[in-house]
Structure 1
Amino acid sequence: MHPMLNIAVRAARNAGDIIQRATDNIGQLHINRKGQYDFVSEIDFKAEQEIIKTIRQAYPDHAFLAEESGEHQGNDYVWVIDPLDGTTNFLHGFPQYAVSIALKVKGKLEIGVIYDPTRNDLYTAERGSGAMLNNRRIRVSNQTKLDSALLGTGFPFKSDEYLDAYLALFKPLCIATSGIRRAGAAALDLAYVACGRLDGFWEIGLKEWDMAAGILLIKEAGGVVTDFSFNDSYLESGNVLTGSPKMHQLMYKTIEPYIDEKIKRQSGGVT
């Protein structure tokens, strides 16, 4: 295992331990609102601090982009951190949340780790070396028919700005597929695409820390990731469409007539 991947795994497991220890006392946690439907708990902060501390002990000059504390300046190595993706699920005792850690080197994703502490599932990826789940190699699904596919998605719940645009995409995919799941933790949704539990996934308005690790997992597992204009500006726009090469093609063909022009411009598809 690459030394930096080993450190990322250690940091993710340390954060997962903090999260799981807190599950017995959720009702006593201090909780704030970042937005109308966006919550943050003291555990988010503690888990993030633990991740940064663990990585800094090994790499004191590295930079960070973290959900709760923002940017920490450093060199060309940037750790992208979501300490608890699925905070609302966690606060309700709904066991669908994860730690997500990615490393970018000069702008390129090099390492990705997603840790599900409720199942002790560890997803890891290194650029050019494949993706793993609990040390077993994983691949995206081989599903080739949309009417047999199970897709994942996420609602644009933080703002109603893109709700109509999202619903316009949801309807044709809902009609065309065998099922759609919205579990509320994008990092795990992307990990599930990487290991074939989901055949595809799409969402509008994600943040870089929500998807950086998951995107590398999918690519290293043989999948395709684009925005809604078939470009690669998903980290900037927050709009993502992903699956196996065949499933991605089928999903894009299905939704293309319904993609809002504003979303296309956001993804760099309209000038």
Structure 2
Amino acid sequence: MQPDQIAKQVIELSKQAGDFIRQERKTFNADKIEYKGLNDLVSYVDKTAEGIIVAGLEKILPEAGFITEEKTKNNIADQYNWIIDPLDGTTNFIHGVPSYSVSIALKEYNELILGVVYEINLDECFYAWKGSPAYLNGTIIKVSNAPTIADSLIATGFPYYDFTKQAQYIELFTHLMQSCHGLRRLGSAAVDLVYTAAGRFDAFYEYNLNAWDVAAGIVILKQAGGQVVNFNGGDEVLNTREVLATNGKITEEMLAVVQRYFA
């Protein structure tokens, strides 16, 4: 397997799905919304885009399995598995807020080895694979050099259906709001991660995330020189559903703050 050649094909596929999503947004209306759960929205756009992606990936790597958000295909293979979010930021898409993306990752056994995130509205494609630099539209990107929280712009995501940790989250939010350059909530965890990879953000944290929300962005961030841990400081984030992503320079400081509220 040549990861650079696979990456090129996945990039083109992500843009194909992104083109479909972009066109559908022009005529989309609220009558087409479905609810998977409390505040958990989906539409035919997510499902159709996922079908486009799955069909393309089956041709690229026929032996691979799939972990998909919309369950158009879910079959776990032994060695390779694609992890797909066809439209990360569905709520933004539905409301016409321009921050949503296609997210595609490849995992070999238990290691993420390739990631592509295509931000549709800005036509920005972020990608990387094991051993490569991280790229944005062909240009190498790197994380920021911010040395402290006080020097940082930090991204987060708001819980929208599991409110059991809401009190701790608000306390942490309040602390950081008073301690950094600012907090931002874009509504797409994949975009938050690649913006951290590109140095636009210095850190990103969120809990209650799924593997398809973060897998591709994690690959890109790490290859850009960043660091990703869970709220306990461990490397496992796909199953713990907690992500703290940083430029690698403020990880310990961020962890100390997060653990103050999420013991």
Same fold (TM over 0.5): yes
Decide whether the 8 Å contact of 1:100 with 1:209 is kept in 2.
yes
Of 24-33 and 198-207, more deviation after overlay is shown by 24-33
Q: Name the SS of the counterpart of 1:234 in structure 2.
A: coil
Superposition pairs for residues 247-266 of structure 1, below 5 Å? Answer: 247-260=250-263
Alignment of 1:3-82 (within 5 A): 3-27=5-29, 30-69=32-71, 71-82=74-85
Task: Name the aligned partner's letter for residue 50 of structure 1.
Answer: I
**Quick check: 2:78–2:109 contact (8 Å CA) kept in 1?**
no
Superposition CA RMSD, Å:
1.4
Q: Which of 95, 100, 106 matches 1:92? A: 95
Deviation at residue 233 of structure 1 after TM alignment: 1.6
- Counterpart of 2:167? 164
Normalising by structure 2, we get a TM-score of 0.95
2:162/2:208 contact within 8 Å kept: no
The CA deviation at 1:254 is 2.5
**Once the two structures are superposed, what CA deviation does each residue of 1:231-264 show, in whole Å capped at 9, x if it has no partner?**
012111110111112122221223332223xxxx
Give, as a single letter, the amino acid of the residue that structure 2 aligns with 1:18: F
Alignment of 1:1-271 (within 5 A): 2-27=4-29, 30-69=32-71, 71-260=74-263
Letter in 1 for 2:221: I
Any idea what SS the aligned residue of 2:29 has?
Answer: helix
Is the contact between residue 30 and residue 94 of structure 2 (CA under 8 Å) also seen in structure 1?
no
Supply the distance in 2 between the matched residues of 1:233 and 1:58 (Cα, whole angstroms): 28
Instruction: Quote the Cα distance in structure 2 between the aligned partners of 1:232 and 1:97.
Output: 26
CA distance in 2, matches of 1:15, 1:103: 17
Gap runs ≥5 in structure 1: 261-271
Shift of 1:187: 0.4
Q: Distance in 1 between matches of 2:17 and 2:87?
A: 9
Residue by residue over 1:114-149, the C-alpha shift from the partner in whole angstroms, topping out at 9 and shown as x without a partner, is 001111100001111120001111111111132221
Shift of 1:60: 2.1
Cα deviation, residue 91, structure 1: 0.6
Deviation at 1:165, TM superposition (A): 2.5
- Contact 1:218/1:224 (<8 A) preserved: yes
8 A Cα contact 2:135 2:141, kept in partner: yes
Distance 1:58 1:194 in 2: 26
Q: Which stretch of the first structure deviates more once superposed, 185-194 or 249-258?
A: 249-258
User: Structure 1 vs Structure 2: percent identity of aligned residues?
Assistant: 38
- Letter matched to residue 237 of structure 1: T
One-letter amino acid of the structure 1 residue matched with residue 63 of structure 2: D
Length-normalised TM-score, structure 1? 0.92
CA distance in 2 between counterparts of 1:111 and 1:77 reads 11
Partners of 2:169 and 2:261 within 8 A in 1: no
Contact 1:168 1:259 in 2 (8 A): no
Query: Shift in Å at residue 7 of structure 1?
Result: 2.1
